[in-house]
Structure 1
Amino acid sequence: MTVVIGSDGRRLTLGPLLGKGGEGAVHQVVEAPDLAAKIYNSGKAKERRDKIIAMVSARVHSTSEFVAYPVDTLKSTTGDFVGFTMKKVSGFKSVHDLYGPGSRKVEFPTADSKFLVRAALNLAAAIASIHDTDCVIGDINHSGILVSDKALVTLIDSDSFQYRGPSVIYRCLVGVREYTPPELQGAPFAKIDRTANHDNFGLAVLLFQLLFLGRHPFSGKFLGNGDRDIQTAIREGRFAYSARRTETMMEPPPHVPSLSDYGEEIRKAFEAAFMPPARQPTGRPPASEWVRILRSYESSLQPCAVEKAHAYRPGLSSCPWCALEQGMGRSLFTAQYSMTSSVMDIGQLLSSIRSIPTPTPPPQAETVVPPLPELQISSAGQAVRKERTVTMIAGMAAMAIGLYLITAVQGFWGLLLLVGSAIVTIRASDLKARFAPELTAAQSHWAEQTAKWLDQAGPQKFVRRKNHYLELANTHSALPAKERQKLDVLEQRKRQLQLVKHMESHLIDRAKIKGIGQGRKATLASFGVENAWDVQQQNITSVPGFGPSLASDLLSWARSVERKFVFNASSPTDPRAIQDVKASIAKERVEIERELTNGPLELRRIADEAMVVRQKPPQSLIDAFAQLKQVERDMSK
């Protein structure tokens, strides 16, 4: 085994390899189980030597429990600087495995929506602790952030942080463009002193990904000509979820939460974080502000009545996670139902529902309307009568003239005038014909209001709701058989389930695919394409920036993954699939029981309302009856 020497001369033995990257390798330390040793590759040690010595001398590692800072310098047995020790991080996984819905089910099976909020809060706290020192992360991205199954957060790769020593700034020389603020896009990192405000952009991106299913805030559908990749969208300030849609000309991908789901304070914070720098006179929200905002949001969360893995803010009419899962056709979290039998006494509920008497048929609607005051002819009726009188006088005068013409002047024209004026006079005297349109409208309105009243006052509405509850009870009693049937189908589809699990385990983010770099991987994730199975199930050319050529390369990779699948007939059915079936049935049971519980109360309310509307009919019914009688009065002689 290789031996290295600490600054105090203590000899340390490098144990098993914990990880390896482009800069070097991380080993266990045999003599100190709580420490790990990072040993640089040849040529890298000299570049980092002064920076590590400065960080160790300043005891930066004592300033934060969230970061694996250098604890001590390490030299080879020949005296050359080779690396450093740091606290060993075990039991933690990449934050990317948490915010991606597919990987989350595998790597964080107990994580729920509140877990995501807690992880976001702890991430903000971790970065706030870094900014309280002389460090700036610089290269802030998902690969350097680890999360435990308790939502604790640890940052690694601290030797790449920008560190301000007593007389020199040791810059961060690298960066991931998808987490780089617009003012640094395309800039030479080696020539720039990073600031906490630069980190605050990358922090906001990571927080957004944790809260928004791994979606990148600048990945969406561009409403202008062509496409915008993530780097271009960042540079141009095109926050895809912004309320400034006419300005950003972007809309978010399908099946994602909205900013309003998280409330006004979080919405404003994201808008401020992703606003163009020229419009940020006070800078982006700092990590400490995110800690306050997320702590307040976390404390306000209320549990979903249907799905225990869901929690959402007060003020929303329904659970946004339930709506998302319904739209996507799949669960976003591993369901957390109790699979024990229901403790609800359905039999007692049914007895209560059946015992509520059905309302009797109501009386005729006319009989419940209060007596109307003696109706007088309306102003419209009086006007018609005046018009009728004038018309009849004129008609009789015309008839007299016509009679005169027949006898004294010319028979034909006189006869024509006599007949025409007689017809006009007779029609003018017919009030029923004159009020026919008003009568038809009044009768139709009365019939409409009567039908509404009968539905409220009679048994129809009560019977409909009662039958609905009885059908729900039948559905509830059939749930065990439905569960057995679904589990039988799983057994029959064992090969397909194994194939799906195999494909889903191959994540795009971890794969090397021709033409698919980190930016395009982030775009795919933003549109719900995380693994080989997603590639085969979705139309990749509908993702912005993915034409036929890239889609073909991606599909070729997915097919190569599929070719490696080997069916194991002796393997039991996937426990996750069984859990999904049981969770689905349990969720249906909870929803039915919740609705059935309201049954007796609703039926009693409907029955009581039926009696009330009989004794006190609604004003709309009274008005319709009065309108009809008024028209009939106006039509009377």
Structure 2
Amino acid sequence: MPKFYSGNGHSLEPGKLLGRGGEGAVHEIEGRPGFVAKIYHQPVNSDKALKLESMARQAHPGLLEIAAWPVDVLRVGPQGPVQGFIMPQVKGYHEIHSLYGPSHRKRTFPQADWSFLVHAARNLASAFETIHARGNVIGDVNPGNVVVSGQAMVKMIDCDSFQIDTGSQLFLCEVGVPQFTAPELQDRPFHGLQRTPNHDVFGLALLCFHLLFMGRHPFAGRYRGKGDMPIERAIQEYRFAFGRQAASRLMEPPPHTLPFEALPQPVALLFERAFSVSTPATPRPAAREWFSALERLNRELRTCARKAIHKYPSAAASCPWCALESASGTAFFAAPQPTTPTKAVIGTPDFHFEKVWDRILAVAPPAIEAMPRPGPQAPTVPTPLSESLKRAQLLNWLKTAAIGGAASVATLNWPQLVWLWLPLAFAAWSLVRDTAIRRERQRRRLALLAARRELTDLRAAWQQRGTQQAFMRKLHELHVARERYHNLSAAFQKELQRLEADQRQQQLQRYLEGYFIDSVQLPGIHATDRMALASYGIETAADITAAAIETVPGFGQHRGRQRAAVLLDWRQSLERRFRYQPLQGPDPAEIATLQQHYAQQRAQLEQELLAGPDGLTKIKTDLVKQRAQLNIALIRQAMQEAQARADLRVFYPNLAAFLHNHSN
């Protein structure tokens, strides 16, 4: 390897080869740890040389923290042409797709949960903001240009392709990936194309969506129209498959994806804005907006009570990951594996089942007690009518008698007009009567009906809280726990035997899971096809089945069936190369997981049984308290009903007949 020279003429010797690509190779630099040299296959032209020199002059700690930014150029001779540059070495980082793809993540980031992905998205937005703050544009935003560390730190790589503005000269980014290019730039050549931060943040939103939605592309949904809908065309036509307008654009999300409604409103609105029509008056959300919203989301996450690996927005009513994993049969997050197998399914050392069960049975059920029906504690005195109401009542009687008498006389004298006298009498009585009496009677009648309704409510409350139901239900649960506890060892052995019987299939599954679709070149399978497959949960050879591929848009018609055949043939070729190792036995990690699962079940059952006696005693004590409170309420209700009866008797002396008529 020949010597190269830095911008100030110092000689440098490239060391160990670290990687090679289409443009050039990356080497260590002898005597300069922490930095590497990217050496192009051929010297670059004068514009590219000026661009690299300008980038090196812009280098500052903020950029070096988030990007493999050029810090110096490399020349063939002290004054020779530029053929490379020096940049910080990026160690311990992985391409971002190995984080957001569930199958990749299980291998590369096995401990990552959703909060880790949210934090990575937040750091990605921060990196974009840092680059934009210097007046530069990334241009070619795509997953291959972003890497992530085990602490969710983000760095940008391939920075020499960025669009750089020196103030006096603009160096364009003339490459791009259509599946991550803004709608207004689709079908336009990248050569000579000037980008803006507003174009960049479309790609930022896409990458954030991939992180939050397990590698799903927001425009790779099910198209309900005719023909195929490639991702590039869906982007160009603003067919966001998850948004509020998805149905009107004939799109819907792929199956088994995180519901868009699970996101908090501020984050969901950012996606809606990013994937809608952008104008100078309504630009896409800037990197700073994404940073703030994602930082807030990360602070407000809650941990699932059933699976600690599940994190989700605190505003959600329940854990969406539990529902999603139950529906799909896919574990989106890898549960922490025990480092050493549990030797046996061992519970609490001082737990003695027979003694615990005897304590449970020693708690006698509460006595069966019917709901009491207390009567009034003392004779009830009716509430008399006020003097004004008595006068109004007397006047009403007199008016009724007068109007009735007049109607009778008129009927006797002119019987042929009886149809007229009776309505006139009723109308006259309605006009002259005092309605205060009627209102008072209605008020007292409603008081009686309210007392009767309260009695109905108290009967229901007694049935719910005053009977043995809660005690017997808890006792039944303890009996079920007792049976499960007795059968636990047998169930564990059965599962262990199943693992041993299925070890060939498990070995084949693990073998196929090691082959990723995005790491092989398959004829007819292009980048847009890989993204569509990943959006439908097909990442590895293990995910490839005829039924799974059939659900992916673009794989059902003639050319699509050809691509499906290529994928199925690839899986079959891998299966033919697979060699079963019968002596290998089940995966120790799976055995350890199974042992841990049953150990946890045993511990939970022991805790439930240990708490049984106290739980039953508490229910019994609470029952006594509830019965006492209900007794007091029943006495109060009986007094209120008796008072209401007596008060109404002022209007209905023969109240028994009235109550009979109104009891139903």
For this structure pair, what is the TM-score category when the shorter chain's length is used for normalisation?
Answer: 0.7 to 0.9
Q: CA deviation at 1:360?
A: 2.5
Please state if 1:361 is matched with 2:368: yes
Partner residue, 2:471: 462
> Are positions 1:284 and 2:284 aligned together?
yes
Where do 1:219-234 residues align within 5 Å?
A: 219-234=220-235
Give the structure 2 partner of residue 28 of structure 1.
28
The residue number in structure 1 matching 2:253 is 252
Match of 2:530 in 1: 521
Q: Aligned-pair distance for 1:157? A: 0.3
Pick from 483, 486, 502: which aligns with 1:493?
A: 502
Structure-2 residue corresponding to 1:416: none
Does the aligned pair in 2 maintain the 1:307–1:337 contact within 8 Å?
Answer: no
Mapped pair 1:59 → 2:66: no
Matched residue, 1:214: 215
- Change in Cα spacing, 1:9 to 1:197, as seen in structure 2 (3 Å) is same
SS state of the match for residue 65, structure 1? helix
Task: Name the amino acid aligned to 1:138.
Answer: G
Equivalent residue pairs, number: 557
Map 1:552-591 → 2, pairs under 5 A: 552-571=565-584, 573-578=586-591, 580-582=593-595, 584-585=597-598
Q: Judging changes above 3 Å, is the alpha-carbon distance between structure 1 residues 240 and 586 closer, same or farther for their aligned structure 2 residues?
A: farther
Deviations 1:510-548 (A, max 9, x none): 121222211111111111111111013743111111123
Matching residue within 527, 543, 550 for 2:563: 550
Asked whether the 8 Å contact 1:60–1:69 carries over to 2, the reply is no
CA RMSD of aligned residues (A): 3.7
User: Could you tell me how far apart the structure 1 residues matched to 2:268 and 2:156 are?
Assistant: 26
What amino acid maps onto 1:557 in structure 2?
A: W
1:476 shift after superposition = 4.8
**By how many angstroms is 1:219 displaced?**
1.4
Residue 326 of structure 2 is matched in structure 1 by 326
Counterparts of 2:277 and 2:223, CA distance in 1: 17
User: What's the TM-score, normalizing by structure 2?
Assistant: 0.75
Please name the residue that 1:75 is paired with: 75
Asked if the contact 1:457–1:613 (Cα under 8 Å) also holds between the matched residues in 2, the reply is yes
Structure 1: distance between partners of 2:489 and 2:47: 66
Stretch moving more, 446-455 or 39-48: 446-455
Partner of 1:123: 124
CA distances 1:320-358 after superposition (whole Å, capped 9, x unpaired): 222222222232222137787666987698677555442
Aligned equivalent of 1:6: 6
Q: Do the aligned partners of residues 630 and 10 (structure 1) sit closer, same or farther apart at CA in structure 2, a change above 3 Å counting?
A: farther
Contact 2:64–2:88 under 8 Å retained in 1:
no
**Deviation for aligned residue 1:253:** 1.3
Query: Using the alignment, how far apart are the partners of 1:266 and 1:310 within structure 2?
Result: 19
Greater mean alpha carbon deviation, residues 100-109 or residues 458-467:
458-467
1:189-240 deviation line (CA, Å, top 9, x unaligned): 2222111111101011111111111111111112333332211111111111
Using the alignment, how far apart are the partners of 1:474 and 1:610 within structure 2?
Answer: 27
> Which residue number in structure 1 is paired with residue 48 of structure 2?
48
Deviation track 1:71-105 (CA, whole Å, cap 9, x = no partner) reads: 21112248332111111111111110110111111
Give distance in 2, aligned partners of 1:203 and 1:351: 63
Deviations 1:562-594 (A, max 9, x none): 222222344453344335435654675687689
In structure 2, what residue type is equivalent to 1:517?
Answer: H
C-alpha displacement of 1:447? 13
Q: Which amino acid aligns with 1:549?
A: Q
Distance (Å, rounded) in 1 between the aligned partners of 2:70 and 2:533: 36
Cα distance in 1 between the residues matched to 2:347 and 2:576 = 44
* Pairwise CA distance, 1:181: 1.0
Deviation at 1:314, TM superposition (A): 2.0
Q: Which amino acid aligns with 2:323?
A: A
Q: 1 CA distance for matches of 2:50 and 2:171?
A: 9
Residue 36 to residue 569, structure 1, CA distance change in 2 (3 Å): farther
1:124-523 residue pairs with structure 2 within 5 A?
Answer: 124-278=125-279, 281-336=281-336, 354=361, 356-363=363-370, 368=373, 454=463, 457-476=466-485, 478-479=487-488, 481-523=490-532
Q: Partner of 1:86 in structure 2?
A: 87
In the alignment, residue 361 of structure 1 is paired with which amino acid? I
Check conservation: 1:14, 1:30, Cα contact below 8 A: yes
Alpha-carbon distance in structure 2 between the residues aligned to 1:172 and 1:588: 58
Distance 1:268 1:592 in 2: 45
Tell me how far 1:456 sits from its aligned partner. Answer: 5.1
- 1:631, 1:581 → 2: CA distance? 72
Mark the CA change 1:161 to 1:579 in structure 2 (over 3 Å): closer, same or farther: farther
Q: Residues 137-159 of structure 1, C-alpha deviation per residue, up to 9 Å, x if partnerless?
A: 11111111111111111111000
Residue 635 to residue 44, structure 1, CA distance change in 2 (3 Å): closer
Deviates more, 1:473-482 or 1:597-606: 597-606
The answer to whether the 8 Å contact 2:44/2:81 transfers is no
Match of 1:431 in 2: none
Alpha-carbon distance change, 293 to 353 in structure 1, aligned in 2, over 3 angstroms: farther
SS in 2 for 1:209: helix
Q: Which amino acid aligns with 1:318?
A: S
Q: CA deviation at 1:302?
A: 2.1
Distance in 2 (alpha carbons) for counterparts of 1:113 and 1:344:
36
Tell me, in whole angstroms, the C-alpha distance in 2 between the residues paired with 1:246 and 1:67. 40
Relative to structure 1, the CA distance from residue 609 to residue 236 in structure 2 (aligned partners, 3 Å threshold; closer, same or farther) is farther
CA distance in 2: counterparts of 1:8 and 1:558, whole angstroms? 54
Offset, 1:603: 4.9
Within 5 Å, give how 1:90-101 maps onto structure 2.
90-101=91-102
Measure, in 2, the Cα distance between the counterparts of 1:211 and 1:586: 33
Pick which of 286-295 and 46-55 moved more: 46-55
Q: Which runs of 5+ in 2 are unaligned?
A: 381-454, 643-655
Shift of 1:267: 1.1
**Whole-Å Cα distance in 2 between the matches of residues 511 and 24 of structure 1?**
21
Counterpart of 2:66 in 1: which secondary structure? coil
Contact 1:508 1:531 in 2 (8 A): yes
Conserved? CA contact 1:495–1:569, under 8 Å:
yes
- TM-score by length of structure 1 reads 0.78
Seen in structure 2, the aligned counterparts of structure 1 residues 480 and 121 have a Cα distance that, compared at 3 Å, is farther
Map Cα deviations across residues 381-402 of structure 1 (whole Å, 9 max, x no partner). xxxxxxxxxxxxxxxxxxxxxx
Specify the alignment match of 2:432 in structure 1: none
Q: Give the C-alpha shift of residue 70 in structure 1.
A: 0.9
Q: Give SS of 2:586's match.
A: coil
Identity of aligned residues (%): 37
Return closer, same or farther for 1:458/1:184 CA change in 2, 3 Å cut-off. same
Is the Cα contact below 8 Å between 1:308 and 1:336 reproduced in 2? no
- SS of 1:136's equivalent? coil
The 3 A distance-change label for structure 1 pair 264 and 337 is farther
1:9 deviation in Å?
2.6
Consecutive unaligned residues of structure 1, counting only runs of 5 or more, are 375-445
Is the alpha carbon distance of 1:262 and 1:31 closer, same or farther for their aligned partners in structure 2, counting shifts above 3 Å?
same
Residues 354 and 200 of structure 1: is their aligned pair in 2 closer, same or farther, counting only changes over 3 Å? farther
User: Cα gap change, 1:368/1:564 in structure 2, threshold over 3 Å: closer, same or farther?
Assistant: farther
Report the AA paired with residue 566 of structure 1: R
Structure 2: how far apart are the matches of 1:329 and 1:337? Answer: 19
Cα distance in 2 between the residues matched to 1:595 and 1:182: 58
- For 1:239 and 1:205, the matched residues in 2 are separated by 11
